[in-house]
Structure 1
Amino acid sequence: MPPKFGTSGLRGLVTELTDALVARHVRAFLAACPHGGALHVGRDLRASSPRIAAAVAAAARGVGVEVVDCGAVPTPALALASTGAGAAAVMVTGSHIPDDRNGLKFYTPSGEITKADEAAILAALDAEAAPAPAEGALREDAGCGARYVARYVEAFGTDALDGLRIGVYQHSSVARDMLVDLVERLGGTAVPIERAAGFVPVDTEAVAPETRAALPGWAAEHRLDAVISTDGDADRPMVADAAGRIVPGDVLGPLTARLLRAAIVATPVSSNTLVERMQPGFELRRTRIGSPYVIAAMAEALDADPAAAVVGYEANGGFLLGFEAPAPAGALAPLMTRDAVLPILAPLAAARAAGIGLEELAAALPARFTAADRLQEVPTDRSAALIAALTDDPEARAAFFDTGAAEAGLDLTDGLRLAFENGEVVHLRPSGNAPECRCYVEAASAERAEALLAAHLQRLRDRLG
């Protein structure tokens, strides 16, 4: 499958992300979108990322744009630096997908590109670049990551994690050392775990079975209060409690929104419905899956009321902050891009302040449980064809879905999401940036959610191979 735009920028096989293709997209981005005269460039820890980042920098400098090399940094740290400087940015990352793939995430001076920006970039791909009077300058920003860490130390305070032992599953996250530093600066004790030499594709929305199996052992061995991690570019969190149980992203999101006193929450249709049941509640905006759609809903709320206390989150845990929010030790400036650190720190700090464990904090929420996974190496057109057939045929749906209850509602906002009379939900969707078919489920217990997921993944395997 050739590189294409999905829900998280341009993605494709490393072999197809040639220097020439990368340069075309960078030049089109700089021609079609505002950039403030400079381009910040960051990258994750994939083997291919330094080469692709060099191609991004060369293309920008070739059209006379100054390049600020931020090195290997989390995506939200890069976005914080570029938006603060009134400049554009490109992050070289494939996020959670395997090492044989990579990608580009684009940012204008105001934040992530919109779907309209994406269309403008694609329209400009074949345009001839105007000759530059001179090559753009190149400079380094060695403090990009440090400023990102300082943002959270200043907002949460140096005792926010006092007394807590936090395991940091390091693998190949670009934030692996930063997380250790952050835990220590917030008063906790950081315990680094499983640092990888090569790239490990950690999907926080579908944590690998071997990682789930290892978490309870790590928690017990090191006497941990929690285990934290991120995906490859650190815009999606992974958090487990003292027993090594994963706290899903769409639980971290509502907990974080509550701590920040948000009034309006934007989240995709795939997120847990517990947020509808929380008291006091939020004004909720449901969207399609992907941060561009969440950002669009947040922007709509801010257009109506610039002072709106609006946030967004996704089922993968990425959290977006749309207003200057009160934090335990200070204010947090808006950051309208998916972030992993805020939804890690906020629940941990809230639990510690309340004198309870993370598991108790989560258990106080309405009892709704989700699970998600995906069937990999399935061409998008095959997934889409199956979902279209199920959408169009009630009898086919009745034969395919098995929850023990009748269908109660059908949502086509993004893929096929079915609600059943027993309160369970099954949602199928082709991935927007990889050859995968995603399955999301929701039930009244964690055990039932896992069983529901396993059963419907097997049905997908039977139909899609």
Structure 2
Amino acid sequence: MTRLFGTDGVRGLANDTLTVSLALKLGAAAATVLTRDRDSSKRRPMALIGRDPRVSGEMLAAAMAAGMASRGVDVLRVGVIPTPGLAFLTDDYGADIGVMISASHNPMPDNGIKFFSAGGKKLPDHVEDEIEKALDNLEDSGPTGTGVGRVIEEAHDAQDRYLAHLKEAVDTDLSGIKVVVDTANGAASEVAPKAYAAAGAEVVAIFNKPDSFNINDNCGSTHIDQVQRAVREHGADIGLAHDGDADRCLAVDAAGNVVDGDQIMAILAVGMKENSSLRKNTLVATVMSNLGLKLAMEREDIEIKQTAVGDRYVLEELNRGGYSLGGEQSGHIVAPAYATTGDGTLTGLMLMARMVETGTSLAELAGVMQVLPQVLINVPVSNKAAIMDSETVKSAIAEAEAELGEAGRVLLRPSGTEELFRVMVEAADQEHARKVAGSLAAVVAAV
């Protein structure tokens, strides 16, 4: 049986595979599992529910709230808020459960449900598995009378709490920095421009007018060309692009060159090492990170710990090892001292603070790392498991690795959120990487 939870919660086409009925039952199941060991002598259990601006979030959040209230959990709805904001607020309000309704960078028709436990922490696999089991064994009836949970429709101070947290986390005066920020018409459309302006930066905000239908629509971190163009037009020092739920941040330098998550991690890791805040002198990254990051960190005498793809696995390694910085090439950057998950707005603040502290341009800072040519092809597939087991695919990978030698690498993996198989190849030059990736993608598509 296919696992309901992917690498980042439950995701699907809203009102098709991700239905109101499923959200209602998930709410009840999660409430059952996540409050099971709670001391019943304390106040009633409480959950926070936030969402991004896409239209289906309204009905899914309502269904989730109803499901949780039906199991005796009081629900506080915090409205449109970035995923990292919801994680922070779960801890700040002392809630037992946090729920974010968002499909992140996916198109508007999709949506997703992400759960956080007390403290704003993502759930480990085994707890998600428990929720799935509870889903199959739900009783129709729950508590009655005074045992039914209350639903409070809006927390008026939620955004202010999150903004105050960001200001406290990065208190560097950013006066003199001109920043273009693309909020993807998403959850950070208000928060990110406010946070950057509050820190002293001159802010040019684009794609910050969500209308429930335009989230991620030719904008945000998956369409970085919009920020590149705007940075050049406005003569900005830096451009920042977030995704729909703002847990990602990609950057653009003053000339319009992209600075990806690997480069951002390299910049921040070097800075944290200098001020002795890079714990155990270690950076946590995934297997998708560019080989150039590994080489750069070796030169800087910084160790890299590698994980599977997904910020949850980065988080697990950060917590397990007590490290202070980790992330993904896609722009999920995690600094555990300030956040329990990737926070795009916080990343933007940290990056600009580094520019101010060093008096150095983003382009110069990014020069710490040389990005090796990398080609990523997403191959639509109907059976990801069959690709993993295919001897033809395994043979093609072995041949490609032999051809590239130590000057490159190959990585094939299934998407955790979409029916895609990702083929990634790095090589000494772009054409060679493109040729090898194309050949491997053709083999995968034929299986």
Q: SS in structure 2 opposite 1:172?
A: coil
- State the Cα distance separating 1:191 from its structure 2 match: 0.7
Matched, 1:231 2:251: no
Within 2, Cα distance between the matches of 1:450 and 1:50?
A: 46
Match of 1:126 among 136, 139, 158: 136
State the partner residue of 1:286. 306
Could you tell me which residue of structure 2 aligns to residue 336 of structure 1? 340
Say which structure is richer in strand. Answer: 1
Would you say the 8 A contact 1:202–1:230 is kept in 2?
A: no
* DSSP 3-state at the match of 1:68: strand
Q: Is residue 265 from structure 1 mapped to residue 283 from structure 2 by the alignment?
A: yes
- Pick aligned residue for 2:122 from 89, 112, 135: 112
Give 1:148 deviation, angstroms.
1.9
Would you tell me which structure has more helix in proportion to its own residues? 2
Q: Give the secondary-structure state (helix, strand or coil) at the position aligned to 2:250.
A: strand
Q: Residues 20-419 of structure 1: matches in 2 within 5 Å?
A: 20-34=21-35, 37-84=45-92, 85-110=94-119, 111-129=121-139, 131-133=142-144, 134-139=147-152, 140-157=154-171, 159=173, 161-195=174-208, 197=211, 198-201=213-216, 207-208=222-223, 211-212=224-225, 214-260=226-272, 261-263=277-279, 264-277=282-295, 278=297, 279-301=299-321, 308-322=322-336, 324=337, 333=338, 335-365=339-369, 367-369=370-372, 371=374, 373-375=376-378, 377-379=380-382, 381=383, 383-389=384-390, 393-394=394-395, 396-397=396-397, 401=400, 406-407=402-403
- Provide the rounded CA distance (Å) in 2 between the counterparts of 1:24 and 1:219: 45
Distance 1:390 1:355, change over 3 A: farther
d(CA) in 1 for partners of 2:124, 2:352: 32
Q: What is the match of residue 42 of structure 2?
A: none
Aligned to 1:434: 418
For residues 134-190 of structure 1, the C-alpha deviation after alignment (integer angstroms, 9 at most, x for no partner) is 32122232222222222222232261x211111112332210221111121111110
Query: Quick one: distance in 1 between partners of 2:266 and 2:24?
Result: 40
Contact 1:256 1:342 in 2 (8 A): no
Q: Distance in 2 between matches of 1:424 and 1:220?
A: 33
Amino acid at match of 2:104: S
Aligned amino acid, residue 242 of structure 1? A
Contact 1:39 1:67 in 2 (8 A): yes
Letter in 1 for 2:407: G
* Residue identity matched to 2:402: A
CA contact (8 A) 1:168 1:229 kept: yes
SS of the residue corresponding to residue 245 of structure 2 reads coil
Structure 2 residue identity aligned to 1:183: Y
CA contact (8 A) 2:184 2:219 kept: no
- What amino acid is aligned across from residue 254 of structure 1 in structure 2? A
Contact conserved, 2:32 with 2:71, CA < 8 A, in 1? no
How far the C-alpha of 1:51 sits from its partner, in A, is 0.8
Partners of 1:60 and 1:67 within 8 A in 2: yes
CA drift of 1:449 comes to 4.6
Kindly state the Cα deviation for residue 11 of structure 1 after the two structures are TM-superposed: 0.8
SS in 2 for 1:240: strand
Q: Which letter maps to 1:97?
A: N
When the two chains are superposed, the root-mean-square deviation of aligned CA atoms in Å is: 2.9
Aligned to 2:136, what secondary structure does the other structure show? Answer: coil
Please tell me whether the aligned partners of residues 2 and 12 of structure 1 are also in contact (alpha carbons under 8 angstroms). no
For 1:95 and 1:67, the matched residues in 2 are separated by 23
Tell me, yes or no, if the aligned pair for 1:370 and 1:440 is still in contact at 8 Å. no
The CA deviation at 1:118 is 1.0
1:202, CA displacement in angstroms?
7.1
Counting aligned pairs with the same residue, the percent is: 28
Q: Does the 8 Å contact 1:34/1:109 carry over to 2? A: no
Task: Describe the SS at the equivalent of 1:267.
Answer: strand
Residues 1:390 and 1:250: Cα distance change in structure 2 (over 3 Å): farther
Q: Is contact 1:99–1:201 with CA below 8 Å preserved after alignment?
A: yes
State the distance in 2 between where 1:451 and 1:199 align: 37
The 2-side partners of 1:345 and 1:391 are apart by 47
Secondary structure in structure 1 of the residue aligned to 2:289: coil
Specify the alignment match of 1:10 in structure 2. Answer: 10
Distance 1:450 1:357 in 2: 30
User: Which ranges in structure 1 are unaligned for 5 or more consecutive residues?
Assistant: 302-307, 325-332, 408-419
Q: What CA distance in whole angstroms lies between the structure 1 residues aligned with 2:251 and 2:375?
A: 15
Distance in 2 between residues matched to 1:248 and 1:86, nearest whole Å: 34
